[in-house]
Structure 1
Amino acid sequence: MRTSYDVIIVGAGSMGMSAGYYLARQGVKVLLLDAFDPPHTSGSHHGDTRLLRHAYTGAPVYTELALRSDQLWRELEQVSGEPLVIRSGVLNLGPAKAPGLEAKLQRAADYKLAVEALDAAAMESRWPGLQLPDSYIGVYEKEAGYVRSEACVRAFRQQAAAHSADMLPFTPVTRLESVSQGVAVHTLDKGTYTAKHVVLSLGAWFGVLQDTIRLPIRAVRKAVAWFEAEEPMFDVERFPGFTIGGGDGGYYGFPSSCGSGVKIGRHDGGQAWLPGEAFEPFGHYAEDEQDVRRALEMFMPRAAGRVLRGAVCKYEMTPDEHFIIDRHPDNERIVLAGGFSGHGFKFASAIGEMISDLVTKGSTGFDVTPFALSRFR
C-alpha cells in the first residue's frame, strides 16, 4: 500500500466518506482513515434515517445546499443502484406565529418551493393520527422526506473504492505534522502517511486531535426510539416525516416502514460526552424513553405504544448550531469540516462535493461565510 497521497481524510463518516467519493471520482489519490469501520455505531450517522428538507431556516446557503444535496442523493442512487431517498413528505409543526415556521414559509417563497401552510383541523383531517392544539399550524413539504443514512455512507464507500480510493478502518490518528511534502498523518499502529492536503471530519471525536486544532464543538449523547404505532395509519405510505417545535422542546421523527414503528428523537437536551468516556446504551437514563414518549402522547397518542427499539448516537454541537467548514487558521493545507450540530446529514452529499472543491479548486460556489471558524474568535 502506498504511503503518499494527494488527500488524506481523517474521519470517514458522513462528510468524510462523501468527500472521499467526490475527490476520488476526479482521479485524486485519496486515503480515508477512520477509527472504526464505516458505517458504524460510534459516530453520528447510524440509526437508519435522517430527514431531508428544503425550506430551511438560517442563512440562505442552507436551502441552496439542501437542493444541491437532493440532486446528488439522486445521482448516488443511480450509480450505486441502492434506494437511498424516501419521498414521504415532511410536516413541520408548531404554534402559530412561531418564528421558525414563518421563516420556512418565507424561504419557500424565496426559492419557489412547493409547500402548504395548514391549520390544526386540516392536518388532523389529512393525517388522523395527529392530535394537535388548535393554535398549531403546519408547513408541509410534499417533495421532502428522508435518506437512509447508513446506506448512504455505505454507498459512498463503495463508490469511492470503485474510483481507487484507499480505506483504512480501525486506524485512529494520533497527530498531524507539517512536512515539506504537505502534512504527515501519524496513526496509532499503522504507520505514517503524507499528503498534499488533509481533511479533518472527525464529528464528535475532534477532541482527540486538540494538539492540531481546538474547535468549539461539544459532543452530546442523543437517544432515539421506535414506538409501536397503529398501522397502517402511521405507515410511510400515509404519514410523513415530521418536526415539532414549541415550548416543550424540539422533536423530529419518521413514519413506520415495514412495521418498524414510528421513530422519534429530541433535538435539544442530551448528555455531554467526551472521547474516552463510557457511552451508555439506550435506556440507561429514564429520559431516553420518557422525553420522546411524552411528545408522542401529546401529539400522536396512537403512535405511543411500546418501545420496539432504541438507539443512541452523538451530536457535535457548535455554540450557534451552525457548521464549521473552513481551512485550519495556521495551515491552509488542512480543511476542517465539523460541528454539524444534529442537522447536518441531509447536506452530506453537497458538503462532500464542497470539500472536494475547496481542496482541488481552492473555492466553492456556495457562500461559506456562515461556516467560518473566525466567527467564534
Structure 2
Amino acid sequence: MENFDVIVIGAGSVGMAAGYELAKKGVRTLLLDAFDPPHTMGSHHGDTRIIRHAYGEGVQYVPLALRAQQLWEELAGLSGMTLFARTGVLGAGPLGSPFLAEMQVSAKQFSLPLEVMSAEEINERWKGMNLPDSFYGCYESNAGVLYSERCITAYRELATRQGAVLLTHTRVTDVQVEPDHVTVTTDQGTYRGEKLLLSAGAWNPALLRSLGLQLPLVPTRKTVAWFAADEQLYSSEKFPAFVFELEDSTYYGFPSVDGTGVKIGRHDGGHPIDPDQLDRTFGTYPSDEGDVRSFLEAYMPQAAGPLQQGRVCIYTLTPDEHFLIDRHPEHEHVVITAGFSGHGFKFASAIGEAASQLLTDGRTVHDLSLFTLNRL
C-alpha cells in the first residue's frame, strides 16, 4: 500500500489548488479524481468565471477575494498562461437592492474602486444595456473574468511538476479514518495517508455521510447558455461581466469572448440531483433557455440572438449559501471544503492555500469563521 502525507479526494478547483500548495512545500500529496480534470462533470467547466472583490454576498469575503486575485495572477506568471481578463464587472438591480448596498459597504471598508451609476449612465456607457430608471449599478473596474479550465490546467501542471501524484479516472469506494491516518480505497487501489482533504464537490455529501456527517448540502442542476450577440456592443473588449439581483431572481453573465456570444446563467433556482444520475442534456427543462433568454430580451436585447450552445453544471448549495471550510469535528486530520453554492470558483486559489495551511500548520492566515461546520 502506497503511503502519502496528504490524500486529496477531488482534484477540481479547490483540490487542485490545494494539491499545488501542498506539493510546493514538499508534502507527499496524492490527488484522486473520478474524471480527468479539467472536465465537464463538476462545477468548473464552461470556459469562464467572474471574479469580484467588492462582494455583495458579504464584506467578510473581501480579504479572501483579494488574496485569491493575487494568487491567480501569480499562477498566470508561473504557468505562462493567460488566466484573467480585466473586463470590469457591473452589479445592477433595483433601488434598495441589499446586494448592491453590500458591494458599497465592501468597497468603502477596503478602499476598493467602485463606481455607483444611474440606469441612464449605464445605458449610455454600454449601449447594449437597457436598464429601467428604477435600477442602478455598481461598476468594479478592477474585477473581471477567470478562464476556469485554464486555471485548473495550470494548477495541475504545476502540482505534478512539484511532485504531486494525480490519479485520474479513479473513483473512491471507501474511506476509513483512524486516529493517526486514513485509508482510501478506490477502484484502482488502496492508499494510506496521514491526513485527508475532502474536496469532491457534488460528491462530498455521500463521502461525508460515510464519515458520520449528515450535512445539509444539496447538489443542484444548473445551466448556462451562450447567445449570438452584436459584437460591436458585447465583445469582451467593450462590455463588462455582470451580476443582476432582481426582485425575485439573480442572473450573471459574461461578454462575448472571442466571438463565442454572451454567456448567461440564472443563479437562483435549479433542481436537486444525484450527481451520478444527472441528466446533462441542456433543454431538458424549458427554463434552461427560457429564463435566460427572457432576461436578455428585457435588459440586453441585442444579445438575445440565436442560442449558440448550452451546458449543464452543478452547484452544491448550503442553506445560507456560505461555504463550508472546516475540520471534521471528530478527526482533526480531516479537512472539508464543500458547499460553494455557485460562487466559489473565484476563491479556489485562496481556499486551496487555506486548506493546505490547515493540513500542514494546523491553522491558516485566512479568516474562515463564516464557513464553520457547526453553523449548519
Same fold (TM over 0.5): yes
**Residue 238 (structure 2) aligns with:** 238
Moved more, 301-310 or 274-283: 274-283
**Residue 168 (structure 2) aligns with:** 169
**Residue 375 (structure 2) aligns with:** 375
* Aligned partner letter, 2:359: V
**Residue 264 (structure 1) aligns with:** 264
**Residue 93 (structure 2) aligns with:** 94
The within-5 A match list for 1:265-344 is 265-344=265-344
Cα deviation, 1:63-105, whole Å, max 9, x if unaligned, reads 1010000000000000000000010000001011211101111
**Structure 1 residues 256, 329: CA separation in 2 closer, same or farther (over 3 Å shift)?**
same
Segments of 4+ in structure 1 off by > 2 A? 57-61, 178-181
**Residue 194 (structure 2) aligns with:** 196
- Cα offset, 1:207, TM superposition: 3.1
Preserved CA contact (<8 Å) 1:61 1:366: no
Preserved CA contact (<8 Å) 2:58 2:106: no
- SS of 1:207's partner is helix
Preserved CA contact (<8 Å) 1:174 1:208: no
Q: 1:178 and 1:144 mapped to 2: Cα distance?
A: 41
Percent same amino acid among aligned pairs? 51
* Aligned partner letter, 2:5: D
CA RMSD in angstroms comes to 1.1
**Structure 1 residues 135, 59: CA separation in 2 closer, same or farther (over 3 Å shift)?**
closer
* Aligned partner letter, 1:256: S
- Cα offset, 1:158, TM superposition: 0.5
**Residue 130 (structure 2) aligns with:** 131
Preserved CA contact (<8 Å) 2:57 2:99: no
Cα deviation, 1:220-278, whole Å, max 9, x if unaligned, reads 01010000111121001100000111124100000001110000000001111013323
- Cα offset, 1:211, TM superposition: 1.3
* Aligned partner letter, 2:220: V
* Aligned partner letter, 1:83: T
Q: 1:12 and 1:74 mapped to 2: Cα distance?
A: 21
**Residue 16 (structure 2) aligns with:** 17
Moved more, 270-279 or 5-14: 270-279
- Cα offset, 1:181, TM superposition: 4.9
**Residue 346 (structure 1) aligns with:** 346
- Cα offset, 1:29, TM superposition: 0.5
Cα deviation, 1:301-347, whole Å, max 9, x if unaligned, reads 00000001110100000010000000011111100000000000000
- Cα offset, 1:279, TM superposition: 2.1
- Cα offset, 1:208, TM superposition: 3.1
* Aligned partner letter, 1:4: N
* Aligned partner letter, 1:279: D
**Residue 149 (structure 1) aligns with:** 148
User: Does 2:203 match 1:208?
Assistant: no
TM-score, reference length from structure 2:
0.97
- SS of 1:233's partner is helix
* Aligned partner letter, 1:56: Y
- Cα offset, 1:216, TM superposition: 1.6
Q: How many residues align?
A: 374
Q: 2:278 and 2:205 mapped to 1: Cα distance?
A: 15
The within-5 A match list for 1:67-82 is 67-82=66-81
Cα deviation, 1:7-47, whole Å, max 9, x if unaligned, reads 00001101000000011011111000011111111100000
Preserved CA contact (<8 Å) 2:221 2:278: no
* Aligned partner letter, 2:126: W
**Residue 158 (structure 2) aligns with:** 159
Preserved CA contact (<8 Å) 1:208 1:275: no
Q: 1:239 and 1:59 mapped to 2: Cα distance?
A: 25
**Structure 1 residues 171, 62: CA separation in 2 closer, same or farther (over 3 Å shift)?**
same
- SS of 1:276's partner is helix
